[in-house]
Amino acid sequence: MWHLIKAYFSFIVKSTNQHDVHSPFVYDLVTKCFYNNKKQEAYTTLSAYKNQLLDNHDHIKVSDFGAGSRVFKSDKRKVSAIAKNAGISLKRGQLLNRLVKYLNATAILELGTSVGIGTAAMAIDNKEVKITTVEGCPETAKVAKNHFNSFHLDHIKLINDTFENALPTLTDQIFDIVYVDGNHQKEATLRYFNQLLKHRHNNTVFIFDDIHWSAEMEAAWKTIKKHPEVSVTIDTFQWGFVFFRKEQVKEDFVIRI
């Protein structure tokens, strides 16, 4: 926790808004997508999706993967509590929804479905997009699947398996957005990053969640930023965006959203 507080202060000192951004690509992304606060119809459906989960007080038995939880002490958890603590905020969900549209994404991969708030955020009103999402815990995956069905999000393919088993089955699929939100450990994050490299094209974006969550994740983020195939990175504190666009000068941005 101490690490997170220190990291946040450092982020506040280093971060800027669009005014210090001289790259046209990043400037447009920040002003037209990150900072676009025009209300969208999809946001209403996304709120309904999250509210339905927050109203679900069933208990499920959760199998923990990766770095585990700082909030939950038991494996018996209420769906509503999972939605509140593990699921992304509506603000972040809205940003994911905009990003799919802004990048004209048609193929998305998410590692870490949980109860599907992030997945639904990318899927709602984006019917032409094919989303593959991977969740290791069977009972959590079942809750997500039921909610996708009740919102008719049938363009989501949910793989109930570990990331380790699922990644090799993706063979030669190419994705426009890859959202990595599970198993926040250095070695695993870097392993996924390296495995995912072959599933990208020049304009693909990788999004890593919780890049400042621990000293380990901080170290993983530093290594990713230095990778020779990475051109632009954007640190927004919770998420790290990684671009591979060959036409960009290598540059690391720190942006408040």
Ligand X SMILES: C[S@@+](CC[C@H](N)C(=O)[O-])C[C@H]1O[C@@H](n2cnc3c(N)ncnc32)[C@H](O)[C@@H]1O
Which residues contribute to the site for ligand X (CB under 6 A)?
A: 65-66, 86-88, 110, 112, 114, 117-118, 134-137, 140, 162-163, 181-183
Q: Is the dihedral of CA 171, 174, 175, 180 positive or negative?
A: positive
**Least distance (Å) from ligand X to the CB of residue 183?**
3
**Least distance (Å) from ligand X to the CB of residue 142?**
12
**Least distance (Å) from ligand X to the CB of residue 177?**
13
**Least distance (Å) from ligand X to the CB of residue 231?**
25
Using only C-alpha atoms, the chain has a radius of gyration, in whole angstroms, of 17
Residue 151 or residue 163: which is nearer to ligand X going by CB?
Answer: 163
Of 184, 187, 115, nearest to 153 by C-alpha is: 115
Helices (H), the chain: 2-14, 24-28, 41-54, 79-85, 90-102, 117-123, 138-150, 163-169, 186-196, 215-226
Dig out the tokens for 16 from the structure.
Answer: 């800027």
Residue 77 or residue 200: which is nearer to ligand X going by CB?
Answer: 77
How far is Cα 108 from Cα 100, in angstroms, rounded to an integer? 9
Nearest residue to ligand X on Cβ basis: 118
**Least distance (Å) from ligand X to the CB of residue 199?**
17
Residue 88 or residue 224: which is nearer to ligand X going by CB?
Answer: 88
Residue 17 or residue 173: which is nearer to ligand X going by CB?
Answer: 173
Dig out the tokens for 211 from the structure.
Answer: 């890049």
Residue 118 or residue 240: which is nearer to ligand X going by CB?
Answer: 118
Exposed e or buried b per residue across 5-25, where buried means at least 16 C-beta atoms within 10 angstroms of its C-beta? eebeeebeeebeeeeebebee
Residue 21 or residue 159: which is nearer to ligand X going by CB?
Answer: 159
**Least distance (Å) from ligand X to the CB of residue 250?**
28
Of 58, 18, 13, nearest to 34 by C-alpha is: 18
